[in-house]
């Protein structure tokens, strides 16, 4: 540890001094909470046991499980750039939270006694892994097999958290929310395209979550110009099988207006285990003509509260193989002269799901949109992998030519790891909400619970993490 260092004089208060001291200080106390979530759910070990690690195990310094935990903890704490690992390399809390070693060993630098040269490769981590090491990890995870493991880990994390909350029992019924997200990028990453609907160059991934709990279940990266429903059938049907095996007895699907198309609807209706669904249908001339007779207010003065009317119908689009139940929803809106209307499509019959309950079920997807928004705004995944070969390294041409990786697959890895970090942080959020009895945004959890200042004290073979009382209450 270095000497105390006075930084700068403070003019507004001469009695105040700003110093840097050689103490074990950190602003990342919440990393211990996230690591405890990872540990109790067994996610680190789940990933390490299944992911293929191409490195020579006799020559590595950072075990695979520690690299994965470094990624998840950094993202959960709000460090989006792998370069930040160098700034956090000596952070005492991060070192303790990432390491698989027990006691105070993670706080000790490896090597020989003081005064002797440090070995070139001590095979013991000296702080967090560097940016190049984490970047190589991302490249290793980009294989088809490893990406499948990351997808599986999303569902496993959600299932283990929910079962722990429910005393080991599965849920009887869950709603799977499926949507597409625009992920805007700078530059020309492989697979990104200009999307006229969003007026930006984007990737257009599919994402699924549990409507009742907010846990993410699966995610698949797509090209930026992909239609909303492109690949949805192959995405949803295998997910339904896994959800009904791991998590619940019966699952239904809730979708936005871009998804209802014949292959997807027919696939869910003909699935061996019938899958109920509800989705909005885009307004077009034919349904609009069907709605015209119902877009009139009844005689008399309207009440103060806006009214809603429901009309049951059967509709068969030209591309559909069969007629399907649709519900016309007509609404009054304050200060608007004309009535508003939209359509819902479902394979529930009216006795199973009356129209008013169907509308309430569909409206609940707003919570899922909020969770998807948190993934994009709080975790803020930055997709920037490029397959270009480096022309220079430290000012010189590289000594060896490394074949460029699959930039699209590496970007999917970034998105999947961010989604997994979201599930870990969401688990911490649920614990806080249960303890306090109030709702918490993920950003508030990070600011109040995770990004907390701490001091690490070492006594013999024990490390003590000291935080302020206000944070300790949470």
pLDDT digits (tens, 9 = 90+) for 2-11: 566 788 888 8
pLDDT at 402 (0 to 100): 46
Q: Does the structure show a pLDDT above 80 at 390?
A: no
- What pLDDT band is residue 337 in, cutting at 50, 70 and 90? confident
Phi, psi of 174 (to 5 degrees): -135, 155
- What pLDDT band is residue 31 in, cutting at 50, 70 and 90? very high
Q: Does the structure show a pLDDT above 70 at 399?
A: no
pLDDT at 3 (0 to 100): 63
pLDDT at 391 (0 to 100): 60
Determine what percent of the chain is predicted with pLDDT higher than 90.
Answer: 69
Q: Does the structure show a pLDDT above 50 at 335?
A: yes
Residue with the bigger pLDDT between 300 and 353: it is 353
pLDDT at 113 (0 to 100): 42
- Topology at the third CATH level for domain 144-379: Transposase Inhibitor Protein From Tn5; Chain A, domain 1 (3.90.350)
Q: Name residues whose C-beta falls within 8 Å of residue 292's C-beta, 6 or more positions apart in sequence.
A: none
- What pLDDT band is residue 111 in, cutting at 50, 70 and 90? very low
Tokens 């994965």 label which residue?
68
Q: Does the structure show a pLDDT above 70 at 351?
A: yes
Would you list the domain boundaries of the chain? 23-140+441-474, 144-379
Q: Name residues whose C-beta falls within 8 Å of residue 270's C-beta, 6 or more positions apart in sequence.
A: none
Q: In this predicted model, what pLDDT tens digit does every residue of 262-278 receive, in sequence order? A: 999 999 999 988 899 99
Q: Does the structure show a pLDDT above 80 at 394?
A: no
Q: In this predicted model, what pLDDT tens digit does every residue of 310-330 receive, in sequence order? A: 999 999 999 999 999 999 999
Average pLDDT taken over every residue of the chain: 89
User: Cβ(295)–Cβ(339) under 8 Å?
Assistant: yes
Q: In this predicted model, what pLDDT tens digit does every residue of 113-162 receive, in sequence order? A: 444 454 454 566 678 899 999 999 999 999 999 999 999 999 999 999 99
Sheet of strand 324-331, all strands in order from the earlier edge strand to the far edge: 216-220, 206-210, 171-180, 248-255, 277-281, 340-346, 324-331, 308-315
User: Cβ(237)–Cβ(271) under 8 Å?
Assistant: yes
pLDDT at 124 (0 to 100): 64
d(CA 221, CA 198): 17
Q: In this predicted model, what pLDDT tens digit does every residue of 60-91 receive, in sequence order? A: 889 999 999 999 999 999 998 888 888 898 89
d(CA 368, CA 362): 11
Q: In this predicted model, what pLDDT tens digit does every residue of 196-248 receive, in sequence order? A: 989 999 999 999 999 999 999 999 999 999 999 999 999 999 999 999 999 99
Residue 25: other Cβ atoms inside 10 A? 14
pLDDT at 389 (0 to 100): 55
pLDDT at 116 (0 to 100): 46
User: Cβ(32)–Cβ(465) under 8 Å?
Assistant: yes
Residue with the bigger pLDDT between 165 and 20: it is 165
Residue 86: other Cβ atoms inside 10 A? 15
- What pLDDT band is residue 398 in, cutting at 50, 70 and 90? low
């Amino acid at each position: 540890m270095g000497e105390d260092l006075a930084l700068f004089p403070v003019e507004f208060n001469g009695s105040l001094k700003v110093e840097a001291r050689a103490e074990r200080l950190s602003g990342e106390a919440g990393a211990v909470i996230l690591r405890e979530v990872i540990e109790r759910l067994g996610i680190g070990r789940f990933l390490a046991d299944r992911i293929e690690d191409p490195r020579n195990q006799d020559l590595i310094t950072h075990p695979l499980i520690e690299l994965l935990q470094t990624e998840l903890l950094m993202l959960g704490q709000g460090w989006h750039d792998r370069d930040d690992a160098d700034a956090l390399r000596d952070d005492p809390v991060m070192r303790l939270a990432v390491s698989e070693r027990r006691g105070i060993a993670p706080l000790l630098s490896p090597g020989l006694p003081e005064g002797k040269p440090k070995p070139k490769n001590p095979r013991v981590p000296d702080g967090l892994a560097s940016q190049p090491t984490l970047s190589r990890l991302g490249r290793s995870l980009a294989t088809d097999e490893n990406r499948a493991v990351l997808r599986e880990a999303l569902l496993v994390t959600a299932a283990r958290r929910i079962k722990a909350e429910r005393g080991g029992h599965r849920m009887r019924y869950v709603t799977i929310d499926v949507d597409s997200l625009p992920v805007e990028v700078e530059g020309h990453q492989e697979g990104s395209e200009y999307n006229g609907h969003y007026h930006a160059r984007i990737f257009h991934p599919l994402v699924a979550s549990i409507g009742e709990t907010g846990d993410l279940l699966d995610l698949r990266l797509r090209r930026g110009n992909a239609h909303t429903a492109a690949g949805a059938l192959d995405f949803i049907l295998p997910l339904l099988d896994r959800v009904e095996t791991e998590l619940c007895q019966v699952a239904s699907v809730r979708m936005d207006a871009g998804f209802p198309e014949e292959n997807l609807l027919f696939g869910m209706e003909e699935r061996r285990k019938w899958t109920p669904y509800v989705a909005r249908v885009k307004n077009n001339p034919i349904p609009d003509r069907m709605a015209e007779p119902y877009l009139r207010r009844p005689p008399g003065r309207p009440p103060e509260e806006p009214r809603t009317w429901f009309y049951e119908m059967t509709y068969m689009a030209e591309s559909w193989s069969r007629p399907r139940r649709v519900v016309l929803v007509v609404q009054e809106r304050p200060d608007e002269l004309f009535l508003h209307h939209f359509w819902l499509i479902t394979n529930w019959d009216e006795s199973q799901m009356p129209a008013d309950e169907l509308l309430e079920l569909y409206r609940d997807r707003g919570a899922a949109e909020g969770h998807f928004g948190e993934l994009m705004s709080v975790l803020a995944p930055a997709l920037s992998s490029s397959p270009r070969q480096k022309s220079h390294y430290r000012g010189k041409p590289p000594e060896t030519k490394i074949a460029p990786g699959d930039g699209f697959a590496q970007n999917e890895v970034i998105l999947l790891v961010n989604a997994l970090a979201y599930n870990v942080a969401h688990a911490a959020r649920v614990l806080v909400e249960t303890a306090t009895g109030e709702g918490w945004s993920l950003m508030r959890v990070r600011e109040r619970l995770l990004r907390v200042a701490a001091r690490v004290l070492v006594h013999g073979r024990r490390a003590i993490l000291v935080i302020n009382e206000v944070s300790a209450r949470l």
